[in-house]
Amino acid sequence: MNKYILILFSAIAFPFYNVYGTHNRCGQITYKHITGLTYEVTVKTYTHSPSPADRPELIIKWGDNFQDTIQRIQITYINYNTNENIYMGTHTYNSPTVYMISVEDPNRNAGIVNIPNSLNTTFYIESMINVFDPDYNCVVNSVDFFLTPPIIKRQNDSKFKFNLTAYDPDNDSISYELVSCKGEGGLYIPGYYMPPNVSINPYNGEFRWEDSTSAQGEYCFAAKINKWRNGRNVSYVLKDFMITVVSLPTILCSYTGIDSLLTDAYGNYYITINPNDTLNLKITFTDANSLHQTAIHSFGEIYLLNYPAIYFSDSSMNISNGYLQWIPKTENGRKRPYLLTFRGYSLDYQTVNDISLFIYVIGNNDTVCPAIPINYSINDRNKFSNSINVFPNPAKNSITIENKGNDHQFYVISIKSILGNEMLIENIDFNTTNTSIDISKINNGIYFLTLRNDKKQIVKKILIQR
């Protein structure tokens, strides 16, 4: 009897598991300030459309020991057998500090080349939210938004460029870095690897893959988009994206019309204009094979302004032209450039290649944290350092953070290598004297431990030695 029940259970349970999982391809979490300590959060996931798995709702963790179920408000088919799912929720925090918003869901897509056993790997995304910026005595209003689809194809025998095309509504500066994809509990996925010759431009977010030996199939990547204010990293988004490598007949594509522009010290194309001047730009995307059909699109913040840029395109089989006209207003002048991306498509094979440039509009209208300030006093940060002790140091598999003061509130702890690679980040609540942190998965070496919240920050150097 017991044997019969076990067999019956197996026959039912495993098909159910396959329906439940294996569909998440990539995604991100963004947010915007509503009022006070209330934020509206948007979660976007991109899922394999043929999969029977579906999520009309997701569980979101707000980072303050609370979680909610948020509903899907829209599902749209975009490309490459992919659905874009949009979920929204609102949350009010109890105190102004730093929190980690996260979503995890079983499971990732099957067959991802650079994630071993991806079928059984949990999908995870996160965003760090700093609801209070002590240097400006105000909230962080929003975090980076993305204007291009995060799933594309690349031809294996060509140099490839793809831009995430992020922009920040707060007019804060943003930077980009490639990091490992994360799995269950926000931990780095065991066995995950970056293919050869992969990089990202830290200034404009242009991802490059200059390798022709990678196996065909789907690859997952994660970019950490950092938000900077007054030289401080006030928040970030961990954005997952996917690139499919395909082997095709040689496709020789090129751009003209941008190569004559100036480049800065980091190789970024740029244009500088005055407010009320007219910018006219023509970019041509050409496929050397006259029988291939092409197209060219454009993405950027300048299309979302009160006085937006105008863009249109035309195509004649293997040649596509993009035409841009923009007359920026005085209100558009700022120190930070506008990022613009052109995306050329080879429609026969659905492959793409991007090219990007910065547009500087002369002016000084950068607005930092324009929301109504919240009243919150700033205490002497130096006293905080003396009240915190980290031991043992050197450490093996765990460290203890001792709180010798009477400061009982939330903090974010991060551990970074001397090269700046983030090895651990999590929230802690100082409601006890001692808090233990597991570091058993971090290799031997010298690291910097940072502990901070809305008004305090300390950095301690630790040595992990086993």
Q: Are residues 217 and 278 in the same domain?
A: no
Q: Are residues 109 and 38 in the same domain?
A: yes
In a domain, 64, yes or no: yes
Question: SS3 of 122, please?
Answer: coil
Cα–Cα distance between 244 and 113 in angstroms, integer? Answer: 10
In a domain, 81, yes or no: yes
Neighbours of 98 (CB within 10 A): 23
Q: Are residues 80 and 117 in the same domain?
A: yes
Q: Are residues 310 and 287 in the same domain?
A: yes
In a domain, 371, yes or no: no
Tell me, what's the pLDDT at 157? 64
Q: Are residues 112 and 190 in the same domain?
A: yes
The amino acid present at 237, given as its one-letter code, is V
In a domain, 134, yes or no: yes
337 CB contacts (<8 Å, ≥6 apart)? 270, 358, 359, 360
The amino acid present at 356, given as its one-letter code, is S
Sheet holding 351-361, edge to edge: 262-263, 269-273, 351-361, 338-346, 294-300
Q: Are residues 210 and 311 in the same domain?
A: no
What is the full per-residue pLDDT of the chain (466 aa) written as tens digits? 343 333 333 333 333 333 444 589 999 999 988 888 889 999 999 998 888 888 999 999 998 889 999 999 999 998 778 899 999 999 999 887 788 999 999 889 889 999 999 999 999 999 988 886 555 556 666 776 787 878 888 877 667 888 988 888 887 888 999 999 999 989 889 999 999 899 999 988 999 998 877 888 999 999 999 888 777 778 899 999 999 888 776 667 888 988 888 888 778 899 999 999 999 999 999 988 777 889 999 999 999 999 999 999 999 888 999 999 999 999 999 888 999 999 988 876 678 888 999 999 998 776 655 443 444 333 444 455 567 888 998 999 999 988 876 665 667 788 887 666 778 888 776 666 788 899 998 998 878 888 776 556 677 878 888 8
Tell me, what's the pLDDT at 65? 86
Cα–Cα distance between 339 and 223 in angstroms, integer? Answer: 17
In a domain, 373, yes or no: no
Tell me, what's the pLDDT at 87? 97
The enclosing domain of 440 has a CATH number of 2.60.40.3080
11 CB contacts (<8 Å, ≥6 apart)? none
Q: Are residues 295 and 420 in the same domain?
A: no
Tell me, what's the pLDDT at 123? 95
Q: Are residues 234 and 267 in the same domain?
A: no
Domain enclosing residue 285, as ranges? 253-361
Q: Are residues 263 and 335 in the same domain?
A: yes
Q: Are residues 200 and 94 in the same domain?
A: yes
Tell me, what's the pLDDT at 324? 96
Tell me, what's the pLDDT at 122? 94
Q: Are residues 150 and 211 in the same domain?
A: yes
In a domain, 147, yes or no: yes
Tell me, what's the pLDDT at 191? 93
Q: Can you list the alpha helix ranges (DSSP code H) found in 25-112?
A: none
- Element spanning 39, H or E: strand 38-48
Q: Domain ends where: 298, 327, 361?
A: 361
| Nearest one of 353, 354, 349, 245 to 292, comparing CA atoms | 349
The enclosing domain of 312 has a CATH number of 2.60.40.10
In a domain, 369, yes or no: no
Q: Are residues 168 and 60 in the same domain?
A: yes
In a domain, 366, yes or no: no
Tell me, what's the pLDDT at 104? 94
Cα–Cα distance between 115 and 240 in angstroms, integer? Answer: 13
CB-CB contact of 71 with 41 (8 Å): no
Residue 212's Cβ-count burial label (10 Å; 0-12, 13-18, 19+) is: middle
**Burial per residue of 246-263, b for 16 or more beta-carbon CB atoms within 10 angstroms, e otherwise:** eebeebebebebbeeeee
Number of domains in the chain: 3
Q: Can you list the alpha helix ranges (DSSP code H) found in 152-280?
A: none
